[in-house]
Chain A
Amino acid sequence: MSTNESTLVEHVHRDDVGSRMGMWLFLFTELLLFGGMFLLYSVYKFQYPDEFFLAAKELNTIMGAFNTAVLLTSSLTMALSIVAIQRNQKVLSMLLQMVTIFLALFFLVNKYFEWSAKFSHGIYPGSEELLSKSSGEILFFGLYYVMTGLHGIHVLVGIFLIAVMTRMTRMGKITHDNYVRLENTGLYWHLVDIIWIFLFPLFYLIT
């Protein structure tokens, strides 16, 4: 380990590296939280390959791809907002953060339409339509709802966090020489993006 890590950091002193380290560790827990569900997914996919294939056809690939693009773009604007604050371009940074929020909301709206389309076809947990399907398909949709739902909750939390960051930027609490909170929010947002990067092919592209 490098020597500067063992430097004693005063209690009142800021330790940006430490904050980021804590954030990364937290992200690992998020990663493994979803990791547990990916474990489930992989076993059931292995046990019911044909049913999963069949069920995945029900999902709208175009919609999923479009949403992936939206989320990737929001990741870009988030990353750019940090560059902006580093360069002391406060207004630009706030603007980029707001674009990120907008894209995230857009993602959720899309998701809402997707879910309600499924619901209107009678495919929702416990519905007769779903229960009449094969075990593999029930499990596929169970996982679909739980995983995208939990991901959606993470998007919601992300929106809230970014909104707080925008406010803090406006109030001058996040500045070009003190922006670790914005950075950590960014880290969180990118992780939400990474999880979607895996959810997308596993649910939409296995046809």
Chain B
Amino acid sequence: MEKHDYYHEHSHSYGIYILVWLALMALTAITVAVAGMDIGKFTVATALIIASFKAYLVLTIFMHLRSETKTFLIFVIVALLFLGISFVLLFSDYSFQ
């Protein structure tokens, strides 16, 4: 590790954060609007897809995951995979009852 590179590693400009914030607000508006429409069983799915996209923006930009080393990315994937598998296996029981 170079002696000084640690405090410039993720300098973003103010602009990108404000852009992301605008996107997040827009997505919130969309998700509320979509929920108002009657699309039956897709309501929850749409809401979750939008939420995931919002979470993705927060993770990569606000939480600087984009500019961290690959190790961090692998860590996050491992954690999410663990949670994801728990869901899949749990429903291997419940969805067939």
Interface of A with B (CB < 8 Å)?
1-2, 4-5, 7, 9, 14, 16-17, 20-21, 24-25, 28, 31-32, 35, 39, 42-43, 45-47, 61, 65, 68-69, 72-73, 75-76, 78-80, 83, 86-87, 176-179, 183, 186-187, 190-191, 193-194, 197-198, 200-202, 204-207
Q: How far is the CB of B65 from chain A (nearest CB, A)?
A: 9
Give the docked Cα–Cα distance between A32 and B79 (Å): 8
Contact A2 B94 (CB under 8 A): no
Known contacts A7-B1, A43-B90; can you find 16 more A-B pairs with CB under 8 A? A21-B75, A28-B79, A32-B82, A35-B83, A46-B91, A65-B28, A68-B28, A69-B28, A75-B21, A75-B62, A76-B17, A80-B17, A83-B12, A176-B7, A198-B55, A205-B43
Asked whether A201 lies within 8 Å of B31 as measured between CB atoms, the reply is yes
Report the minimum CB–CB distance from A193 to chain B (whole Å). Answer: 6
* A47 CA to B91 CA, complexed, in Å: 11
Q: By DSSP majority rule, is chain A's interface helix, strand, loop, or mixed?
A: helix
Q: Tell me whether A83 and B21 are in contact in the complex, defined as CB-CB below 8 angstroms, given that A190-B62, A197-B54, A207-B35 are known contacts.
A: no
Q: Which of B31, B54, B63 contacts A187 (CB 8 A)?
A: B63
Q: Are B48 and A72 in contact (CB under 8 A)?
A: no
Tell me which of B18, B32, B54 contacts A65 (CB under 8 A).
B32
What residues on A are CB-neighbors of B87 within 8 Å? Answer: 39, 42
Q: Lowest 4 CB-CB distances: which A-B pairs, in order?
A: A201-B47, A205-B35, A76-B21, A28-B79
The interface residues of chain A lying within 8 Å CB-to-CB of B68 are 20
Q: Across the interface, do A206 and B11 meet the contact criterion of CB distance under 8 Å? A: no
The count of A-to-B residue pairs whose CB atoms sit within 8 angstroms is 134
Q: Are B48 and A201 in contact, with the CB atoms below 8 A?
A: yes
User: In the bound complex, how far is the Cα of B1 from the Cα of A14, in angstroms?
Assistant: 11
Chain A min CB distance to B10 (Å): 8
Report the Cα distance A182→B61, complex, angstroms: 16
Measured between beta carbons, the chain A residues less than 8 angstroms from B69 are 2, 5, 17
In the complex the two chains form, is A76's CB within 8 Å of B51's CB?
A: no
Task: For the complex formed, measure the closest distance between the CB of A54 and the CB atoms of chain B, giving whole angstroms.
Answer: 14
A73 near B21: Cβ-Cβ < 8 Å: yes
**Whole-angstrom distance between the alpha carbons of A122 and B36 in the complex?**
27
CB distance from B78 to the nearest CB of A (A): 8
| B36-69 Cβ-contact flags toward A at 8 Å (1 or 0) | 0000000110011011001100110111100011
A190 to chain B, nearest CB (A): 5
A4 surroundings in chain B (CB, below 8 A): 1
The smallest C-beta distance from A55 to any residue of chain B, in angstroms, reads 14
Residues of chain A within 8 A (CB-CB) of B50 are 201
Chain A residue numbers with a CB within 8 Å of B71 are: 1-2, 5, 21
Cβ-closest chain B residue relative to A9: B1
> Could you pull out 12 A-B pairs where Cβ atoms are within 8 angstroms?
A14-B6, A20-B72, A46-B91, A75-B62, A76-B20, A79-B17, A193-B62, A200-B51, A201-B50, A202-B47, A202-B48, A204-B35
